A and B are shown apart, each in its own frame.
Chain A
Amino acid sequence: MDPNRSALPFREFSHRISLVFMLTLAAALLLLGRAETYVFDRARQVVTDLAAPLLEVASRPVAATRRIIERTDEYAYVFDENERLRAENARLLAWKEEALKLQAKVARYEALLNVQVDPSIDYASGRVVSDSGGPFVDTVLVNVGAEQGARSGQAVIDTDGLVGRIVSTGPKASRVLLLTDLNSRIPVVIEPAHYKAVLAGDNTDWPKLEYLASQSAISPGDRVVTSGDGGLIPPGLPVGLVIQTSSGDLRVQTFSDRGRLDFVRVLQYEFPSKVKRQDPPEVLQGGPEESEETGAEVPAAPAASASQAAARE
């Protein structure tokens, strides 16, 4: 009898046994993974750190190809683009004048009320080196790790606005949870009425607004910025615009585009927990003599505010 012939059913049998064992193991992993044990987190960090340099090398030709395509597009529309930019520049110059006036006014008020100005925010720049890689997860890897000061919870922005926040860091790379992910929750404020809400990703392109007060009247086109509640993400970061979907729901179109993420900044924001003791403004402390003194001091306020503004820059 040919020995190979008897080996065939045995091989098939062992293949089936192996398949059943792997199915059981995979199911067990799925259940154990829900426990979010330290072992899995550690394994994920190690794998992420090992994969990040490879992905960085592999993503470079992609970025170069994209730049070539964008350049070609720009050359094709260079005259139209030039005209558009001139018109935009003229509009922005008018806005700049307005902004300078408002900046001076705000600085004067801040000095008058002795407002604690937010400290300047350090940041580390890096590149997005990976794609989300799956339909149920919206995370990307950036090549900024703990060695560059990245920590879990820090906000990540690009030139358009808030991209997401860091959820895990290794020495060389960090994972960023994008605003559209199912697990993403960001406290926001809807301007101009200043309604507070939580921006919740739900695996669609447009995150929804949760915990919005029932009487709040928001409308498509309203601007959404971070509220800073919780102290993890600095307030005032641009997030997106309120839009109305075809089903009538109000959602948020984020300023950052998942398909075009490239260079990003990791904001190393520290919540100003150690605030100096702040006395009530002198103008409110009463007494005619004091108010006279205050009146003498008011003209000096713009200088102080200018130094504060410089410190902020």
Chain B
Amino acid sequence: MAKLEPYTPTPAARAGRIVMTVMPFVMGMACVLLAFVPLGRIVGSPLTPAFPLMAIYYWAIVKPEMFPPVAVLAVGLMFDLVSGGAIGLWAFVYVVTYAVVISQRMLLVNTPFSAFWFGFLATAAFAGFLGWVIVSIIHGIFVPPGSVIRHMAVTVAVFPVFAMLFGRIQTRVLQGS
């Protein structure tokens, strides 16, 4: 009887696996940079969506093992460093939001897109509120909430486009492998 050789992955396969593993994190980092590209200026608006929140929510629901808490912290910290705001603000908000999303994951996984989108609406509202509370405490005043409401509204509005994009990447690259 023929004996099966033990499987040893080639270097290319190993590299491919590493790429697959880090891809959601790399996309999270790309979302951080994208959040600072002045896209709103095309239409003369200073509003830019919270792209990292979209990546965190999507991957926390779809493939949480590929977007671990350390990646969420790194994405939030990078956002804080580039934004010039309080250090740790978005790192904290994103990690707490990620924990809440993970705890409700079973409600949202494999649901119709409308439910998935509604889940993101609740997530964005939670993240915005948490951020607003922390900033208000830091400054010792009630910071006018108008800008965070507009920011999160734009984020929720453009989420379907990015969810579709993440879905394509997931189908073509991650599952294709």
Contacts and interface: CB of A to CB of B under 8 A. Distances in A.
Interface of A: 11, 15, 18-19, 21-23, 25-34, 40, 43-44, 47-48, 51, 54-55, 58-59, 62-63, 65-66, 69, 128-137, 139-141, 167-168, 175, 177, 182, 202-204, 257-262
A249 B118 CA distance: 37
Contacts of B83: 132-134, 137, 139
A154 to B, nearest CB: 16
Nearest to B39: A62
B44 A257 contact: yes
B150 interface: yes
B41 A131 contact: yes
Contacts of A32: 87-88
Nearest to A68: B42
B46 interface: yes
Contacts of B163: none
A30 B146 CA distance: 23
B73 A26 contact: yes
Interface stretch (B16-24, B132-140, B167-175): B132-140
A22 B50 CA distance: 21
Contact of B41 (A25, A167, A260): A260
Given A26-B88, A34-B138, 10 more contacts: A15-B68, A26-B73, A31-B88, A44-B87, A66-B42, A133-B83, A136-B135, A136-B148, A203-B147, A259-B44
A63 B42 CA distance: 7
A152 B114 CA distance: 48
27 contacts: A22-B72, A23-B69, A23-B92, A23-B99, A26-B92, A26-B94, A29-B92, A30-B86, A30-B88, A30-B89, A31-B88, A32-B88, A48-B84, A58-B34, A130-B37, A131-B36, A131-B46, A131-B48, A134-B79, A134-B90, A135-B151, A136-B135, A136-B143, A139-B83, A141-B36, A202-B144, A262-B41
Nearest to B69: A22
B129 to A, nearest CB: 12
A176 B89 CA distance: 20
Nearest to A33: B87
Nearest to B52: A133
A137 B39 contact: no
Contacts of A128: 38
B81 interface: yes
A18 B69 contact: yes
B151 A134 contact: yes
B86 A34 contact: yes
Nearest 3 A/B pairs, CB to CB: A33-B87, A29-B88, A30-B88
A183 to B, nearest CB: 9
A225 B112 CA distance: 55
A59 B79 CA distance: 18
B170 to A, nearest CB: 20
A136 B147 contact: yes
Given A134-B83, A136-B143, A26 B76 contact: yes
Contacts of B139: 182
B82 A47 contact: yes
A65 B135 CA distance: 34
Contacts of B152: 135
A267 to B, nearest CB: 20
Interface in B65-79: 65, 68-70, 72-73, 76-79
Nearest to A69: B42
A59 B38 contact: yes
B10 interface: no
Contact of A66 (B41, B85, B128): B41
Contact of B150 (A55, A135, A137, A262): A135
A66 B80 CA distance: 28
A51 B36 contact: yes
Given A33-B88, A135-B131, A19 B65 contact: no
Given A47-B81, A135-B148, A136-B131, A18 B70 contact: yes
B155 to A, nearest CB: 10
Given A55-B37, A66-B42, A133 B73 contact: no
Contacts of B70: 18, 22
A134 B85 contact: yes
Contacts of B45: 259
A136 B134 CA distance: 10
B119 interface: no
